[in-house]
Amino acid sequence: MNGIDKMQDNSPVGRVDWVDYAKGFCIVFVVMMHSTLGVEAAAGQDGWLHAVVDFARPFRMPDFFMISGLFLAQVIDRNWRTYLDRKVVHFAYFYLLWMTIQFAFKAPGIAAESGAIEVARLYLVSLVDPFGTLWFIYLLPIFFVTVKLLRRAPVAFVWLAAAALEIAHIDTGWMVPDEFAARFVYFYTGYILAAHIFAVARGVQDKPLKGVVILALWAIANGAMVWNGYSQLPFVSLALGLIGAAAVIRLAALMSLFDLFKPLRYCGRNSIVIYLAFFLPMAMTRTALLKSGLVADVGTISAIVTVAGVAGALAIFWVARAVGAVFLFERPALFQLVPDKKKAVPAAVMQPAE
């Protein structure tokens, strides 16, 4: 075990409130982005929520991936069979299941427009090029395997190579290589700097006023870079991603200190539930509002659709649990390479990183 992993061994084990807050913050912004862009595309105009979506672009996914790497040091030494079961088969199960569910809703429209052969082709393509909103859980297993394969490689070399990939802004047209290049540096940073990240969170909680000042300065700087068109420049995007992820961690630490936003923490505890299921209530609410004309303002429609996406996904989870359809959010033993000897963990505590 190298020095970095020894440091990470000091990281807290089990549920950490600020981590749940950070994941809740990010998953809401993910739903907001998809909801807002979908509404605006259908309405043919931008709404007031578009500025918020733009503000979050530099840090929204970087923080999600950084949080996903935080606890990796605790499990990376598992044997390959167990590691692949927990870190690859686990996410592959949910990707295939929910990709098929999403496809079932979209297939009739695709078939009507392009024919049944196109439906079959797109389904097969989705096995190698992530479908719809599910690319995050498609990419996570690739990151987990990559880090384990590079377990003994010099940390500085791997990080610099990952940073260079992000700076290069690779655009092949295929989501896996493009998003790998853009996101791996954040995942790896969470892995190698876990102890430092937890120390930052503790420091914010020890000196909350200082944390508020830092967040205010960051928000001004991030907004200025985004709204002046600089946020996606090489080097700048990496800096904003890392600094923005750190800012979300500081914000989450402050939220957990006072614990005033318990619904957001609950969303974080169930972030994978929301991520898997929000597409359906989001799409249904968007269609209903736009067709009904009950709400005219595009920004307000986007906000309502965002709330519906989050709440609707949680409602699907509650109903699935009530009627015994737990396979939607909890991997059955049939699809496990290594059966879990411990009591099954309720889906409510599943984490994207574990």
287-307: pLDDT as tens digits: 999 999 899 999 999 999 999
Cβ 275 vs Cβ 99: under 8 Å: no
Element (H, E) at 290: helix 279-292
**For the chain, how are helix, strand and coil distributed in percent, rounded to 5?**
75, 0, 25
- What average pLDDT values come out for the chain (354 residues) when binned by 10 residues? 35 71 96 97 95 96 95 94 96 96 91 90 93 92 98 97 97 95 98 96 95 96 96 96 96 92 94 96 96 94 98 97 95 89 45 38
Cα distance between residue 276 and residue 101, in whole Å: 10
Mean pLDDT across the chain: 91
DSSP string, 307-348: HHHHHHHHHHHHHHHHHT-GGGTS--GGG-SS---SPPPPGG
Cβ within 8 Å of residue 201, ≥6 positions away: 18, 249, 250, 252, 253
Q: What is the pLDDT of residues 101-137, one digit of tens each?
A: 999 998 998 899 889 899 999 999 999 999 888 999 9
- pTM of the predicted structure, to 2 decimals: 0.90
